[in-house]
Amino acid sequence: MPAFLITNNWYDFRDLGNLSGKLLDLLDDALPFGVVYVIAALLGFVASFVIFVLPSQLFVGVYGERKLIGRIQSRYGPNRVGPFGLLQPIADAIKLMQKEALTPTSADRALMYLAPIVFVAPCVLLFAVIPFGPNMVFADIPVAIVYFLAVSSIPVLTTFMAGWSHNNKYSLFGAMRVVAMTISYELPLVLGMLGVVLFTATLGLQSTVLWQKEMDIWLVFLQPLAFAIFFLGASAELNRTPTDIAEAESEIVAGYLTEYSGMKWGLFYGMDIGYAIAAAAFGVTVFLGGWTFFGLEKWVPPWLIFIGKTYLFYFLFIWTRGTLPRLRIDQLMTFAWKFMLPIALLNLVIVATERMFWVEEKADDSIVYAFALINIIAAAAAIYGWSRALGYRPENTPQKARLVSEAGGFVPVDAHGEGSK
């Protein structure tokens, strides 16, 4: 084997899966049958959560996000605690633990205590199917995409529990909004994923990455519409800013989090970031080639490529959070049902036709590049055409106020020839 290819030797640090595999093999010899599976499960959770998710939450999710948003808002961000403010997330956590966790007298105490705990569990489960490297996937189950989509909709239940348990009208508003939003956004999200699945003919995440590696193209180029739908749907489900209507601070105070304080709130806050990182990891795996980078993975540890990509994807979430205003709930629903769902269906038709052509004509694999070109053009045309068909007319929006020189009465719009229609 060439020196710079991933080997199956345990000392090859470019894939830590070999090391853990070796370790588990040794343990299997020593321990009675079956015990090693329990150890493997524990090892997987500890490795993925303590080594990747928790530091990411703290230093990318809390520190990085606050720092970046600070720079977007032309201020410094955290810079007091530790060097460059790096210890800020730890200080935050200590502060949250010290705070009193208030419970309103009229609240449903059991539900209110349970909700943050139930909120944490699915986040841990999500990382089980994410491939960090060629052998670094904890559970390479053949239906990983379905598993991920299913588990990622559990937190909706807990947010509803949280909103309901407070006996607070703002919380109830937030909870109702979450449920309505998730029902709307699961559909286009799943339909968009279906396009990807039709292309790769697999539901596994590792096999999706391997397909992209083999074809030497990322699915984002083959499925730009599905990627857009995934990004919008994910940010809607994650309550990130353009669609953070469930905890809309300026409208309903904090939505389902209104009555939470202390570490109960902290769990929600931390796990929101955890889910965002999970969504970023999923998006990277499915659309951006996972741990591959057009051959670079032979030299650089694949898990580093994967983590770098995940953080870059997460940056998109931070960026939209820092710049965009919030949609209203009815506008968001209209967008899901009238815009994203038809677009997702159209995407499915395009993909099915292309796949059919590919199989029936027994075309060469390089035809995917032609498909990519067609799909990018089709995506732009579909988005533009469908939004025009729905009545999107940006040229009719006035950009500046009208100017008059003399004080007087009412000035009709057409008096100056520039109408708002």
Partner 1 sequence: MSGIIKSEPFTLNIGPQHPSTHGVFRIKVKVDGERIVDAEMVMGYLHRAMEKLAEERTYTQNIPFTDRTDYLASMSNNLGYVLAVEKLAGIGVPDRGNAIRVIMAELQRIASHCMAVGAFTNDTGAWQTPVMWCFRERERVLDLFEMTSGARLTCNYMRIGGVAFDLPREFEPATRKLLADLPGFIDEIEGLLVGNEIFLARTRGVGMLSAETATNFSLSGPMLRGSGIAWDIRKADPYCGYEKYDFQIPIGYQGDAFDRFIVRLEEMRQSVKIVQQALDALPGGPHSTHVPLALRPPAGEAYARVEGPRGELGYYVVSDEGPSPYRFHIRPPSFINLSALKEMTVGGTVADAIVVLGSIDIVVGEIDR
Residue numbers of the site for partner 1 (CB under 8 A)?
Answer: 69, 72-75, 169-170, 173, 241-242, 244-245, 248-253, 321-331, 394, 397-413, 419-420
Neighbours of 267 (CB within 10 A): 18
Nearer to partner 1, 309 or 321 (CB): 321
Nearer to partner 1, 196 or 327 (CB): 327
Report which of 150, 127, 50, 62 is spatially closest to residue 282, judged by C-alpha positions.
Answer: 127
Q: What's the rounded Cα separation, in Å, for the pair 351 and 338?
A: 21
| Shortest separation between residue 173's beta carbon and partner 1, angstroms | 7
- Are the beta carbons of 77 and 66 closer than 8 angstroms? yes
| Shortest separation between residue 62's beta carbon and partner 1, angstroms | 16
| Shortest separation between residue 20's beta carbon and partner 1, angstroms | 41
Nearer to partner 1, 295 or 408 (CB): 408
Question: Which structure tokens are listed for 99?
Answer: 């705070």
Nearer to partner 1, 65 or 297 (CB): 65
| Shortest separation between residue 394's beta carbon and partner 1, angstroms | 8
Q: What's the rounded Cα separation, in Å, for the pair 77 and 84?
A: 10
- Are the beta carbons of 92 and 241 closer than 8 angstroms? no
Question: Which structure tokens are listed for 191?
Answer: 């339909």
Helix axes 169-200 and 205-215, enclosed angle (nearest 10): 50
Q: Which helix (H) or strand (E) holds 221?
A: helix 219-222
Nearer to partner 1, 364 or 395 (CB): 395
| Shortest separation between residue 332's beta carbon and partner 1, angstroms | 10
CA angle 149, 211, 21 (to 5 degrees): 80
| Shortest separation between residue 351's beta carbon and partner 1, angstroms | 27
Nearer to partner 1, 132 or 335 (CB): 335
Nearer to partner 1, 214 or 330 (CB): 330
Residue where the block lists tokens 């990018």 = 376
Nearer to partner 1, 207 or 387 (CB): 387
| Shortest separation between residue 119's beta carbon and partner 1, angstroms | 22
Nearer to partner 1, 362 or 400 (CB): 400
| Shortest separation between residue 259's beta carbon and partner 1, angstroms | 13
H-type alpha helices, 288-366: 302-323, 329-334, 341-360
Report which of 350, 311, 310 is spatially closest to residue 196, judged by C-alpha positions.
Answer: 350
Nearer to partner 1, 32 or 408 (CB): 408
Neighbours of 254 (CB within 10 A): 17
Q: What's the rounded Cα separation, in Å, for the pair 193 and 185?
A: 12
Question: How many Å separate Cα 341 from the centre of its chain?
Answer: 19
Distances (CA, A) of 414 to 69, 334, 404, 407, 411: 42, 31, 13, 18, 9
Q: Helix, strand, or coil here: 34? A: coil
Following CA atoms 303, 307, 308, 312 in sequence, which dihedral angle do they give, to the nearest 10 degrees? Answer: 150
| Shortest separation between residue 92's beta carbon and partner 1, angstroms | 18
| Shortest separation between residue 57's beta carbon and partner 1, angstroms | 19
